[in-house]
Amino acid sequence: MAHEEVTRRGVQLLHDPLRNHGTAYTDDERGRLGLRGLLPVEVIPQDVQVDRVLENFHRKPDDLERYILLTSLQDRNESLFYRVVTENMDLMMPIIYTPTVGQACQEYCHIFRRPRGMYISAKDRGRVAELLANWPHDDVRAIVVTDGERILGLGDLGANGMGIPVGKLSLYTACAGIHPAWTLPLMLDVGTNNETLLQDRFYAGIRAPRLRGDAYDELVEELVQAVTERFPRALLQFEDFANANAFRLLRTYRDRICTFNDDIQGTAAMALAGVLSALRLTGGRLADQRVLFFGAGEAGIGIADLLVSAIAADGLTTAEARARCWFVDSQGLVVSSRTELAAHKQPYAHDAAPVGDLLGAVAAVRPTILIGASGQKGAFTPDVVRLMAEYNERPVVFALSNPTSKAECTAVQAYESSEGRAIFASGSPFAPVEFQGRTLVPGQGNNAYIFPGVGLGVIAVEASHVTDEMFMAAAHTLAGQVAEDDLAAGRVYPPLQEIRDISVDIAVAVAEVAYAQGRAGLPRPEDLREHIRAQMWSPVY
């Protein structure tokens, strides 16, 4: 090989984040790959590089700066980025995902360094396939797409919402070992109704009101067709769409392609797992619970639908199971006399007197379990939790709204208003709480417990569809991972640090369902677990 070519190859390696090992290249590699002179002389092995990253991480003044540090590392050296993340999950997850990713999205166009993923816009109607042809990796297996309209509980962030597909796919790799080159973050930029962004001179998305109606559906349809042609083995995950689009698109595509909506289905499995664990503490049966949801959107309805299936599996009819689930939305208790209810709420509209507020609804329904998915900070007031604690020995209170700034209540508030008896979980992490000489550990109801494992299972056996039964299996598997120690501290989810093993267990369970339902695209391997493990990428070099 000519000297010039070798040298260029060395430089290319250093600039290719998927292959770059930076200062960890050995002397021999430096010779072979044309790297001599391009790096400082000393070989710094990867574990020392990890320490250097951590030193820099701790030196940063705030979480957004830490997010920028990690993103820049991901852009330079993906292996090192993932090794840092997987070995420090508790520390890194709140930065690369909720809550910090929320702030990062709000400021995405201000902290922009390099593009990641693909931007398909309303202007690309008729040429989406042409755009997808520009993606450098052919074997994409996991795509997360958003249109940025409902980013966490923060609302319409337009093209700034790209932080979510990027973050979710980072979790696919960190939590389930999906090879980074198999992942594709996708922003469907259809404009934004966020005036602040439209006035922001750094905003890089389409400066127009959101596309609606047939034009929107046609663009999504073109995208779906182009994706399935270019990446026939890809799982397409819909993320953070506003709820009218989310429910409709799920209905349209779930039986046609390999797809799911994480806000609806992933959240459901995560929450069901938390409820099943909580019942191990309360000693109650699922079929005997009364569940009150605060927020009747994608998350709330998704959870209720899966819960109904789980209760029905406990021996009740679907109607009886639904009667155990109640909703409060922005207009109050969802009851049958209300005529304006969206289709997804109607199955849960029961015959009861109208109630305008949550406290009144708790008094009327007397729930054993209260689940917040409303994006309304502080909605679980001390009075609400106190009332729950009046007639429940262990009230189950899940404040799932993200990011932390939107949580219905904090861990401290839940414990203080219930004399430390609440079984509390939240969407974003809260630190353990010292309460009357005890350490209470809140569970984090993080979807990252579910979707990476589901994705790994689906991808590993090339399942044709993602079914509700797969999410049910994922929920039971996750619940089964909660140890007695976790429960004793009040935590209804296992430690995040165990997430790679949890993902494998979930993947096996999901793959089993795929085989049982005739949805698997590959012949059954002799050892399913081993087959799944073999698909997992390791960031260690």
Active site residues: 97, 168
Q: How far is the CB of 472 from ligand NAI (least distance, A)?
A: 17
Contact residue for ligand NAI among 402, 413, 477, 481 (CB under 6 A) = 402
Contact residue for ligand NAI among 107, 329, 408, 512 (CB under 6 A) = 329
Contact residue for ligand NAI among 147, 263, 305, 408 (CB under 6 A) = 263
Rounded to a whole number of angstroms, the CA Rg of the chain reads: 24
Q: Please count the residues of this chain forming the interface with ligand NAI, following the rule CB under 6 A.
A: 29
Binding flag, residue 305, ligand NAI (CB under 6 A): no
Residue 152 or 157 having the CB closest to ligand NAI? 152
With contacts defined by CB under 6 A, name the span among 398-406, 469-477, 487-495, 513-521 that binds ligand NAI: 398-406
Residue 132 or 328 having the CB closest to ligand NAI? 328
Residues 6+ apart with CB under 8 A from 169: 117, 142, 144, 178, 183, 184, 185
Binding flag, residue 298, ligand NAI (CB under 6 A): yes
Q: Which amino acid is at 444?
A: Q
Residue 79 or 477 having the CB closest to ligand NAI? 477
Binding flag, residue 296, ligand NAI (CB under 6 A): yes
Q: Which amino acid is at 282?
A: T
Binding flag, residue 299, ligand NAI (CB under 6 A): yes
Contact 101, 155 (CB under 8 A): no
Residues 223-262 contacting ligand NAI, CB under 6 A: 243
Binding flag, residue 330, ligand NAI (CB under 6 A): yes
Which residue carries 């997992």 as its tokens? 536
User: By C-alpha distance, which of 255, 361, 261 is closest to 303?
Assistant: 261
Cα-based distances in Å from 84 to 79, 142, 357, 417: 9, 22, 45, 38
Binding flag, residue 400, ligand NAI (CB under 6 A): yes
Residue 286 or 304 having the CB closest to ligand NAI? 304
Residue 107 or 408 having the CB closest to ligand NAI? 408
Query: What distance, in Å, lies between the first and last C-alpha atoms of the chain?
Result: 26
Structure tokens at 420: 């430390």
Q: Which amino acid is at 408?
A: E
Residues 466-505 contacting ligand NAI, CB under 6 A: none
Q: How far is the CB of 429 from ligand NAI (least distance, A)?
A: 11
Residue 153 or 205 having the CB closest to ligand NAI? 153
Contact residue for ligand NAI among 150, 168, 322, 394 (CB under 6 A) = 150
Binding flag, residue 210, ligand NAI (CB under 6 A): no
Contact 140, 159 (CB under 8 A): no
Supply angle C-alpha 286, 288, 290, rounded to 5. Answer: 95
With contacts defined by CB under 6 A, name the span among 120-128, 179-187, 293-301, 517-525 that binds ligand NAI: 293-301
Residue 371 or 504 having the CB closest to ligand NAI? 371
CB atoms within 10 A of CB 58: 9
Residues 439-468 contacting ligand NAI, CB under 6 A: 445-447
Q: Label residue 22 left, alpha or beta by phi (over 0 means left) and psi (-120 to 50 means alpha).
A: left
Angle between helices 451-460 and 499-516 (to 10 degrees): 50
With contacts defined by CB under 6 A, name the span among 114-122, 171-179, 272-280, 290-298 that binds ligand NAI: 290-298
Contact 328, 293 (CB under 8 A): yes
Binding flag, residue 152, ligand NAI (CB under 6 A): yes
Binding flag, residue 427, ligand NAI (CB under 6 A): yes
Which residue carries 């290249």 as its tokens? 25
Helix, coil or strand: residue 426: strand
Residue 376 or 417 having the CB closest to ligand NAI? 376
Binding flag, residue 153, ligand NAI (CB under 6 A): yes
Q: Which residue is nearest to ligand NAI (CB)?
A: 297
Written in H, E and C, the secondary structure of 454-491 is HHHHHHHCCCCCCCHHHHHHHHHHHHHCCCHHHHHCCC
Looking at 133-212, list the stretches that DSSP marks H as alpha helix, in order from N- to C-terminal side: 163-176, 195-199
With contacts defined by CB under 6 A, name the span among 4-12, 19-27, 295-303, 524-532 that binds ligand NAI: 295-303
- Enumerate the β-bridge partners of residue 186: 118, 145
Q: How far is the CB of 471 from ligand NAI (least distance, A)?
A: 13
Residue 25 is given by DSSP the state -
Q: How far is the CB of 441 from ligand NAI (least distance, A)?
A: 17
Contact 447, 267 (CB under 8 A): yes
Q: Check the CA dihedral 281-283-285-291 and report its sign.
A: negative
Structure tokens at 219: 């663009």
Residue 192 or 376 having the CB closest to ligand NAI? 376
* Chain residues in the site for ligand NAI (CB under 6 A): 150, 152-153, 243, 263, 267, 270, 294-300, 328-330, 373-376, 400-402, 406, 427, 445-447
